[in-house]
Chain A
């Protein structure tokens, strides 16, 4: 019996398991955004990802007794789950666009690319050995992967709305990283970061509208005039 158990990898504690699972769920949602064809679906996935990160903040706040994180979670729900998707949905209604621009890569090669990029993220973050005071080590590799995959999303998508959502997802990855390595970051700074995101969202919205006025579409095909 003993020898049977000897080879078994110890399971992480319930807290570590749960938080890692939530972090990985964010990564999985990120992959979903990579595949989603409808802009609406992409925005919903983004909102779902934001819900997950808020839940993760609450879990950390509860388990590690960091009460500021409750406030952060509330703010991030208000902003990322309610405000940003609302702004984006309004934008879509105004521009009357449903379907995301065609992708520069096929689905299978895109997934392979994203998996490779995520693997790079895992290897790279393992190299730096940043121990985390509040979250397990695997949770640290995930935000790096999320950030890299959202770069893939921004690069392979050929419409401005998807690119904007890719940027917001990138920001989610950074928030996740901040939860992992710097859960003690002063609340005022975190809120300032979020406020900043809100400003960025408004500016993205304005520019998407300007782009739509100029080229009558959300596609980036028209964005090839300036070169050299």
Chain B
């Protein structure tokens, strides 16, 4: 506990030092930029993945910007709610969106140094906020009485029972490596030496996290992201009964969740480079570009996976997530029993 507090104080000092250079943006502006970047870039990443995927299949595919048009179109439409649903149904998209806007405050989206709100929560805190979002969406889906929405919600929650321990174990790994579970601290540790990246515990934890991300973002081999077969759906089915601006918020929110998870994987685990080390305008602008580039690259990787594997049958998904669980447990073991 003391170590954690020590870490946080150090982070604070770090932040204060960083304000000094000229031509800088105010720290609150950088903070806001983190959120804004996620908000704006998120649908684009989805567009990139869809584009690459169709290209790999030999089709021309839609524009990269198509998701923005879709969201804009949905905002212009009338909103309907199923008969008998209450305020939960209508509040869910707003709450979820709020959650997704909060998380970027906690994680290193653009900067190597922690921003003031970075102390608000650790990785677990971020995880809880993301879980809250998916919880309210599931509640909303369950309140509709629509079979498919309920199906998606209950499936998502069933498998989450396994993925959440995975995330916990990944966090344990981080905590054992860095002595704290602040995302900024891990990113810093990883940047400190390449050995931190090839250490087995880190590789295993990153692999487990990647598998969880595939699950959470509804990608192959868990489900077909753009499919129309309701029986195979998990994440996608939950928003069946929403429409108009509410659906737009849900769509937008789900792309943001995807980007947030990407950012955690990239900027905390596998490639925390190209971040702004001070608050100068140039550095921050470069950091935004680098972030877009890295996420697009990861998106291409996911598109390749999407195109080269088949969707698992539903009961095989347990095997998929239990494999992730096993990797995460192993990473804690190797770390705990021999400095792996």
Contact = CB atoms under 8 A, between A and B. Distances in A.
Please determine whether chains A and B interact with each other in the same assembly: yes
Interface of A: 1-14, 16-18, 20-21, 23-24, 27-28, 31, 35, 107-108, 111-112, 114-115, 118-119, 122-123, 125-126, 136-142, 145
A17 B335 contact: no
A114 B196 CA distance: 28
Sorted nearest first, the 6 A-B pairs with minimum C-beta distance are A7-B179, A138-B338, A137-B338, A11-B195, A4-B10, A21-B200
Given A3-B6, A4-B10, A11 B200 contact: no
A133 to B, nearest CB: 15
A35 B327 CA distance: 14
A17 B7 CA distance: 26
Given A20-B200, A27-B330, A115-B326, A3 B337 contact: no
Interface string B1-12: 001001101110
Contacts of A140: 338
A196 to B, nearest CB: 30
Contact of A18 (B177, B179, B198): B198
8 contacts: A4-B185, A11-B199, A12-B339, A107-B319, A108-B319, A111-B319, A125-B337, A141-B337
Given A107-B318, A138-B200, A7 B338 contact: no
Specify which of B177, B329, B330 lies most central, judged by the most chain A CB atoms within 10 Å of its CB. B330
Contact of B326 (A2, A111, A138): A111
A7 B325 contact: no
B333 A12 contact: no
A9 B176 contact: yes
Nearest to B331: A24
A31 B325 CA distance: 12
Interface of B: 3, 6-7, 9-11, 13-14, 176-180, 185, 188-189, 192-196, 198-200, 203-204, 318-319, 322-323, 325-327, 329-330, 333-340
Nearest to B190: A11
A6 B6 contact: yes
A108 B318 contact: yes
Contacts of A115: 325-326, 329
Given A4-B188, A111-B326, A118-B330, 6 more contacts: A1-B10, A2-B10, A4-B14, A17-B198, A17-B199, A28-B330
A143 B329 CA distance: 16
Contacts of A12: 195, 199, 339-340
A10 B179 CA distance: 11
A13 B195 contact: yes
Contacts of B179: 6-9
B333 A35 contact: no
